Structure 1
């Protein structure tokens, strides 16, 4: 399975200084940047508490709270946001005034709570009351842009442009229109710019992630995903910190452009994926990249003539396939893809409901940091369990745990503190599932559609997570959200049962290899770190690819040392 290319990658070093540089100076920073930029939208589009501005308080000795209680009527026990009492002054210079019981709509603008937000998009443009949903529309439009870009750009990258060029296009789109939205003259322009900025969001992260995963050895994939997740979490936390320091949305948006623009510096050092070059029949360019990797790894690189001969041999045995439509001819790969789409949609909805339901402190920035940091234990545990016990075991066990905790939430949702503990356990389980999903995304899909398959899983998650606010705000009872989570976790568990174990396998290079990923690996067998060499897709040890052979020798050495 991709053994020929695995041999070439192993011959130039599969986790040397070059791969470590790619992880530490490309993937982690890019994960940080994209998480930072994306999460900043939450604060830019927030709608703080607001009320009608009623002129005249400066002419009195009343405090702001006293003035509000005097001039703003109450609706359902809360001060109205869109009405105020009619005020009549005895003379224009102030003095005595009367407050009638007649209420009128806000005619002098609004005031808002400035404790956390100096200005957001909504407060700056007075998109409040009957226009309050404008902020939600802009967030939805950005999400639609994410989904469209995630569906289309990876297809273009896989078939025409490659990972490298697609990355710079995505970064350029997001930087350009994130800056443009600051000077958008109308709501319609805001919507258009949010959509266009969203086109590049997921592709920014996806291209470096897939490229790095295609460069590293089998045993290091889980470590790469974990380090990427750490960068992602730190980006979320930094976004909260910067937004707290810069509470004006315009400065927040411009601050997002700085790391995006700096990302163009990678143009001098980010190579194209040799797997993608191979899948496109670009053999000479593939040889150039492999020689460069060998030199960076100070590895004994094969002579160029020998390298080109091996690539030419692969050219004759490995057909060029770059059409997503070919997946239809491979039923097992189709079903596995569908299962991953279902799991991705389910866990994103559950995470959306959990994150929106958890309130620890009455401060948006602090709550955001704590909720983001809560992902780290799940990622760390996910990394350990996936690495040692296998992908399939982790998928099944975490889905089953999430199902159990969601069931428990139905019995404790009236007890605030017990519910908080249960929700934290649900988040822990689902975070481990998401971690496993990232690993599976690279190992299930073949090289011609690897970034496309990963992107479609993300698009399913984007589409599904938009349902979370409606689930929370529904009028179907206090327990409705917990029934939804229970149902989705059950569906996710059932979907995991069909997926094969991929631990220890080379990445599939073509569609047939992806179709045959389960050959010699029965679904009833528990395959893990200590026995996966018994389930390699060959009965002849001499046929094992060089990359897998290095893994086997390392495993045997560790066993003798023990």
Structure 2
């Protein structure tokens, strides 16, 4: 028993000795965080990168994405009945004489075939529609008259665009893993521009209009994720929470900016052109950050 114990101690001693020799001979590779501490994680490059792509980039990304939701809104509308310009009636008085009521509110799709005082019958809109521009001066549905019998077009476009965009988002995320975050960031900005320009030209071509918006939906989440990933990787551990905070602050700012743009510009086309301009400014920085 004593000999067995002595042999066991010898084996344990040899194992420890071999392990120590292994660690002495092994080259110690520094961690990425250690390298960042040496070269600096809050230098001029990181500050420019975070300011442009985390702050401004997030705002532009959300602005462009949410702008679509606003320009696809359907304002309050009613049948256009010509002849009011030859009277001194107010809008409500004219609507009371020419538009029937449904549930206490004026109908959106019916009008009187004559005067309500004469017991005229109700017929569908014969001369187009009028829209309330209090909140939305001119949107895609109000320009294209996607109301009444065509009101399903709005929900169809948004449904297909969201679903196709979700699939594209998975594809773009995979491309980012394969080719890198920086090329993906550049591609996302370019596709934002292409998407918004294509939407301006294709509202009468519904398949192309859906595909154009699908590009914007697909790159929205990927663009934010890639920017935050690069920002946190190139920032020290103690400052990474600041990167996420900057992105979270940029999201509501972008949403509020989209609301203001819709109110400022008289047409949905002007709103999308403003989004394109903001993306082009961001695109200029893509070549300047090296």
Report deviation, 1:82.
0.6
Aligned counterpart, 2:211: 192
Query: C-alpha separation between the residues in 2 aligned to 1:182 and 1:99?
Result: 45
Q: Secondary structure at the match of 2:113?
A: strand
Matching residue of 1:357: none
Match of 2:208, SS state, is: helix
1:156, distance to aligned residue in structure 2 (A): 1.3
Of the three residues 196, 199, 202, the one matched with 1:178 is 196
- State the Cα distance separating 1:138 from its structure 2 match: 2.6
Change (3 A) 1:145 1:10: farther
Distance 1:146 1:29 in 2: 23
Match of 2:8 in 1: none
Q: Where in structure 2 are the equivalents of 1:52-451 lying within 5 Å? A: 52-87=79-114, 99-159=118-178, 161-184=179-202, 185-271=204-290
Equivalent pairs, count: 261
**Runs of 4+ residues deviating >3 angstroms:** 97-101
CA distance in 2, matches of 1:250, 1:268: 28
TM-score by length of 1: 0.44
Deviation per CA, 1:398-424: give whole Å up to 9, x if none: xxxxxxxxxxxxxxxxxxxxxxxxxxx
Which residue of the partner structure matches residue 35 of structure 2? 8
CA distance in 2, matches of 1:99, 1:32: 56
Match of 1:41 among 64, 68, 86: 68
Distance in 2, matches of 1:25 and 1:167, equals 12
| Counterpart in the other structure of 1:50 | 77
d(CA) in 1 for partners of 2:118, 2:193: 50
Residue aligned with 2:227, SS = helix
Whether the aligned pair in 2 keeps the contact of 1:149 and 1:203 (CA below 8 Å) is: no
Assess if the C-alpha contact under 8 Å between 2:55 and 2:246 holds in 1. yes
1:19 alignment partner, one of 46, 55, 69 = 46
In angstroms, what is the RMSD of aligned CA positions?
2.0
TM-superposed deviation, 1:19: 2.1
Say whether the 8 Å CA contact 2:52–2:282 is kept in structure 1. no
Query: Partner of 2:14 in structure 1?
Result: none
Contact 2:137 2:263 in 1 (8 A): no
Do the aligned partners of 1:43 and 1:243 also contact (CA within 8 Å) in 2?
Answer: yes
TM alignment of 1:447-526, pairs within 5 A: none
- Please report how far the alpha carbon of residue 236 of structure 1 lies from its aligned counterpart in structure 2 after TM superposition: 1.4
3-state SS of paired residue (2:34): helix
Residues 138-194 of structure 1: CA deviation (Å, up to 9, x unaligned): 3333322431232111111102x1111111112111211211111213333322221
Larger RCO, structure (CA 8 Å, separation 6 or more)? 2
Question: Where do 5+ consecutive residues of structure 2 fail to align?
Answer: 1-28
The answer as to whether partners of 1:168 and 1:264 remain within 8 angstroms in 2 is yes
Distance of 1:183 and 1:135 partners within structure 2 = 17
How far apart, in 2, do the equivalents of 1:31 and 1:179 lie? 20
- Checking the alignment, whether the CA contact within 8 Å between 2:157 and 2:210 is kept in structure 1 is yes
TM-score with structure 2 length normalisation?
A: 0.83
Given that residues 52 and 72 in structure 1 are in contact (C-alpha distance below 8 angstroms), is that contact kept between their aligned partners in structure 2? yes
Q: CA deviation at 1:249?
A: 0.6
Distance 1:100 1:55 in 2: 19
Residue of structure 1 equivalent to 2:22: none
Alpha-carbon distance change, 78 to 105 in structure 1, aligned in 2, over 3 angstroms? same
C-alpha change, 1:119 and 1:167, in structure 2 (3 Å) is same
The separation in 1 between residues aligned to 2:162 and 2:189, in whole angstroms, is 16
* 8 Å Cα contact 1:146-1:201 kept in structure 2: no
CA displacement 1:75-106 (0-9 Å, x = unmatched): 11211101111117xxxxxxxx9643411111
